[in-house]
Amino acid sequence: MRIELGGGTVVEVLRDGVFRLDGGAMFGVVPKPLWSRRKPSDERNRIRLGLNCLLVRAGGRMALADTGIGQGWSDKLRDIYGIEREPGLETELRRRGLDPEELELVVLTHLHFDHAGGNTRPLEDGTLVPSFPRARYVVQHGNLYEEALAPNELRRASYLPRTFMPVLEAGLFAPVRGDAELWPGLEVVLTRGHALWHQSILVRGAERTLFYPGDLVPTAAHLDPPYIMAYDHLPLETLANKKRWLGQAAAERWLIVLEHEDTAPLGRVVRDGERFRWEPLEPGEVSG
């Protein structure tokens, strides 16, 4: 899926596949009779979630936003999480004729395993190395040092050292603190709530702006402000940030790519009273 933003800025949605998580955990205080109308669950109460990463090209540069769930999962965990890596991030890059060494920037919304799993790859002997050895890996300083490296008991299962320690040991992390412009037209904005130091990504072209909210708004079923995951550290901050950023996205007609939307990840939001409505788009439908 290729999205033209104008002025030579192009975003492509790369699919690392799908996985599944417990529906109750994904919708927090919202009762199942409500959330299941939007996201039906399977016999194990799991909902299907996409793994949508972004490839950003602008001014002769390339950046990747999030790296999906990655490789190296045991059969047991593939079953628990219902992981289906089709086509997979590596395949998506190869189809475009891209060598991982060409990427100069990897921007991570946060270091949970379903967003940072493709940061590393195994060699034939099982040694894990950075997947993008010439890239700077950009994440919030607090997410790396205060959360991933020292998770509490509630969050430990979300941070897998194999997805970030090889990057840290190779000296490839380039942490930021708060909002930052990484290059002209590529920005990260702090959107605390899901993680203490979660960030979302803005890509601004000459004609259009694209917002990649990460787990601030994981799917279209989470557009209503109270539909917040039980995983979130600070749900009231998620609530405030969701209303702020979705309100701006609706007012300025930003394009949005929802990271965990499995069927229609590209669209716009429209304000509907205190709520927001999802308008899915195909790339050919994108206009000013």
pLDDT tens column, 103-123? 999 999 999 999 999 999 999
Note whether residue 7 is domain-resident.
yes
Note whether residue 45 is domain-resident.
yes
How far from chain centre, in Å, is Cα 238? Answer: 15
CA atoms within 13 A of residue 165's CA, in its CB half-sphere = 8
Note whether residue 223 is domain-resident.
no
* Cα distance between residue 170 and residue 159, in whole Å: 18
Bridge partner residues of 120 (DSSP): 130
Look up the domain containing 179 and give its range.
2-208
Q: At 202, which CATH number?
A: 3.60.15.10
Note whether residue 136 is domain-resident.
yes
pLDDT tens column, 131-175? 999 999 999 999 999 999 999 998 899 999 999 999 999 999 999
Number of domain units in the chain: 1
CA atoms within 13 A of residue 30's CA, in its CB half-sphere = 23
Number of helices followed by number of strands (H, E) in the chain: 8, 15
Note whether residue 214 is domain-resident.
no
Q: Which pTM does this prediction carry? A: 0.97
* Cα distance between residue 238 and residue 228, in whole Å: 7
Mean local confidence (pLDDT), 14-30: 98
Note whether residue 122 is domain-resident.
yes
Note whether residue 81 is domain-resident.
yes
Note whether residue 286 is domain-resident.
no
